[in-house]
Chains A and B, each alone.
Chain A
Amino acid sequence: MEANAIYELLAEKIGDGALGFDGEAIDPVADVAPASIVDACTFLRDDERCGFNQLMCLSGIDWDGYDENGKGKSVKILGYTELGEPETTDRVSDGDFGVVYNLFSHKHKHKFTLRVRVPREVASVPTICNLWETANWHEREAWDLVGIRFEGHPDLRRMLMEESWVGHPLRKDYQMPDEWENVPLRGQDYAKNPFPPLAPADPVTPDAPAGDKPAEG
C-alpha cells in the first residue's frame, strides 16, 4: 500500500492527532501529536490493511538550531579545545525534541514513518514498548543519549552510559565532562613536553677505571 493511503487511514482513525504528511521525502513521514502516538501505533499494527508487525528503528532527535520545518543548519556543538579543556558557551538551546518511528510490514512489504515533536522543556513521550518489544531498548537508548523520557516505560534505565553519568551526551547543548568517577576524560596539552629532558650523562661510566677519560675528537 502506498504511504498516502496509509496516512489517509491513519488520519481517519486518530483525527486531530494527525498533524501532517510529507510524501515527497525519501521515507514518507507523518507527523503525529504525542498524545496520539499510542493510538496511531496500535492502529498501524493491528489493522489488516497496514499490518506493521515490526518496529525497525526508534530514534531521538534534537532539533536545536533548526527552523519550524526541520530545515536549516545545525548549531556548533561543544567539544574539547586543542589543549584538552572542555569548551563552554553561554548559548541556551531552544529547539524541540523529536522521536521517529520506522515501521515495516512483513506481510505487505511496505514501510511507514511516524514522527513526534515535543517541546524541549517537556521532553516526554508515551511509551510504545507494550506494542513492539523492540521499542524497549530503543527507548532506553533514546533516554540515555538524548534525554527523552518515555512515560510508562517499565524499565527506563540508561542503555550505554553508566547510571552515574551526568547529562545526555547527544544533546546539542551537552558540555563535555572533565572527569567521571576519577576517570580523567580531558586531554592534555601536547605542546608541553611530558618528558622533561634528562640531565647530560656523565661521560665517565661508573665501571670505567679512574683516569680513563673518553676520547676527545
Chain B
Amino acid sequence: MSYKESTTPPDGYDVGRENMLDFKIDEQFEMLEQSDAKNFILTTVDEVFNWAKLSSIWPVTFGLACCAIEMIAASATRYDIDRFGAGAFRATPRQADLMIVSGTVTAKMARRLKLIYDQMPEPKWVMAMGSCAIGGGPYFKYGYHVVKGVDYMVPVDIYVPGCPPRPEVLLEGLMRLQDKIRGRQGKMVTPKWVQDYAKKIPYQK
C-alpha cells in the first residue's frame, strides 16, 4: 500500500500543492523498489561517513594513572597509534571523538570525567582501559575513593583489559572500536557479501 492509497486528503488540504513539488516521494520510492540498486545511494553515503569517522578518531588527552603511560607509549614511535588515524590527541574535549579512560577513576575525578564526556560532541565513544576503569581492579575491596567501573558514570563502548594493558592491546581495542563504528548507522549493518557468505554456512546442530 502506497502513501497515496493509505491516506486520504484531509479537509482543506490543497491537493494541487502536491503537484507543485518538484519531486514526488511515492514515485521515487517505487522507482527504487523496482530497480535492482535499491537504497544504493543512502547506504553508500553512510559507509563513507563511517569510514571517515573511524579513520580519524581523535582521542582527548586524558590520562589518569599508570595506564596513561601505556597510552603514551602507544602513541609514540614504536607502536604509533597514528597508523590507525587516532594519533591526534586533542587538548580539548570539544575537538575529540574518543575518550580513553586510562586509569583509576577516583570519586573526585569521576565528576570531572562526566564533565569532559558531556563536553565532547556527538558522535563520541568511550574506551575503558585497564582493570581499574573496567571494574575497580585492585581497588575493588578497599578502595573507598574509587568508582568501581567507569560504566557507572558514562556509557562504555570498548573494554580493554589488562593491568595495565600493553600498547598492542590498546591498538587491538582501537581496531575493534573501528569495527563498531563501521557498522553503526544505516541499513547496511552487515555487508551483502557477508550475508551471502553466512547463508552458505550450515547451522550447528
Interface residues in chain A, defined as those with a beta carbon under 8 Å from any beta carbon in chain B: 77, 79-80, 84, 161-162, 169, 174, 176-177, 180-181, 183-188, 190, 205-208, 214-217
Contacts and interface: CB of A to CB of B under 8 A. Distances in A.
Given A162-B107, A185-B148, 5 more contacts: A161-B108, A187-B149, A188-B149, A205-B190, A214-B198
A66 B203 CA distance: 66
B136 interface: yes
Interface string B122-157: 000000000000011000111111111100110000
Nearest to A205: B195
Nearest to B192: A207
A174 B140 contact: no
Instruction: Choose among A184, A185, A214, A216 the residue with the greatest number of B CB atoms under 10 Å from its CB.
Output: A185
A181 to B, nearest CB: 7
A84 B136 CA distance: 10
B144 A185 contact: yes
B120 interface: no
Contacts of B176: none
A96 B87 CA distance: 54
B157 to A, nearest CB: 13
B169 interface: no
A190 B151 CA distance: 13
B144 A183 contact: no
Contact of A174 (B108, B144, B152): B144
Nearest to A213: B199
Top 8 nearest A-B pairs (CB, nearest first) are: A217-B202, A187-B148, A79-B141, A79-B142, A183-B110, A184-B152, A169-B144, A183-B107
B111 interface: yes
Identify whether the interface residues of B are mostly helix, strand, loop, or mixed. Answer: loop
Contacts of A184: 147-148, 152
B78 interface: no
B145 A80 contact: no
Contact of A180 (B107, B152, B202): B107
Nearest to A217: B202
B141 A185 contact: no
Contact of B140 (A183, A187, A207, A216): A187
Interface in B1-55: none
B200 A169 contact: no
A190 B187 CA distance: 34
Contacts of B199: 214-215
A185 B149 contact: no
A124 B110 CA distance: 33
A169 B145 contact: yes
B195 A161 contact: no
Contacts of B145: 161, 169, 185
6 contacts: A162-B107, A169-B145, A176-B142, A184-B152, A214-B199, A216-B203
